[in-house]
Homo-oligomer: A and B are copies of this chain.
């Protein structure tokens, strides 16, 4: 939605413009990471109209010969300075209400990107003004966001929260090597709830394929040295780790 420098190559496509309506298609991103033990999302400030000065999800037009997923990765690199290996990316949902962008008919394929220690976007970014926001603040004040991006953000956050339960997605928020306590703080930050360290440890080390011990220990974080782990091969988490109900 912010990067409009590419040009159309309609001549390449054998299509009859009288046969069907033409849409613009964008790839927009809900990029989530943890900073200071809180869930943060990346937003870019809009320069021009509409919604000038408001904040929006990073994203932009999909190119004619570009796969949807490739477009998401490209925008991630251009607007967030984030490479393919730095995040886990999954398709979220597609938004296409007729007047969600007052300029024209835009269909937005939204993607969810999760990563650990993602960089401050000022460095090497396409977008002049971009920053991380606490997700809790954004959800509490949806007016800050342009278009229907508050809804997209809320859908992305809920997807992330739900997937922590029955998938191994939480490791996407961790560096290559991490302790069980660090993994627990991921769950606690995303869910906004405290978990019992003892029960969490048992569940997470018992789930097959979730974690593999490196053999090394660390004392970062203080206290007794903790075993370091890497993410295992499993993607599904059995049995699941459920959110506390109330």
Contact = CB atoms under 8 A, between A and B. Distances in A.
A23 B103 CA distance: 16
A38 interface: no
Contacts of A9: 21
B25 A4 contact: no
B19 A96 contact: no
Given A65-B98, A68-B94, A68-B96, A107 B25 contact: yes
Contact of A8 (B17, B62, B64, B67): B17
A24 interface: yes
Contacts of A21: 6, 8-10, 24-25, 61-64
A67 B98 contact: yes
Given A17-B10, A18-B7, A20-B61, A98 B25 contact: no
Interface of A: 4, 6-10, 13-15, 17-25, 61-68, 91, 93-98, 103-105, 107, 109
Given A8-B19, A15-B104, A67-B97, 5 more contacts: A8-B22, A10-B17, A62-B96, A68-B94, A107-B109
